[in-house]
Amino acid sequence: MSEQQQKIDAHNQATNEFIELANKMVNDRGFEQNVVSAALMAASGVYATFIAAGNQGFLAENGVEKVAAMYKSNLSYIQKRKKEDLEAQGLTPKPMAEAQAEGPTPSDDDKN
């Protein structure tokens, strides 16, 4: 197996483990889905900052833009694959115009 394939497999395994943990938080511990989703995004941002800047630094505006662009690119790829998977199952994908927000997000709390 190539090094690239090993990285892809590790990425897929890590992704699946995060989803499994998120599902346990919702199903077993009673967290709301939107809270878990927001927490996963927050954790991702904290970890991305750590990888780029360490514990003693933070992202400058340019760094924030780069991380946001990478997140947007990844999310677009995920949605493309989701649509293709649904079509392959003979289903008609139904795009959502906006994410449905239920309750406050961390950024909403910061505004008060």
**Cβ-proximal residues to 111 (8 Å cutoff; 6+ apart), any chain:** none
Three-class SS of residue 103?
coil
Q: What pLDDT is stored for residue 25 in this prediction? A: 98
pTM of the model: 0.75
CA atoms within 13 A on the CB side of 11: 7
Q: What pLDDT is stored for residue 111 in this prediction? A: 42
Percent of the chain past pLDDT 70, that is, above it, reads: 86
The segments of the chain whose pLDDT lies below 50 read 103, 109-112
Per DSSP, which regions of 4-97 are E strands?
none
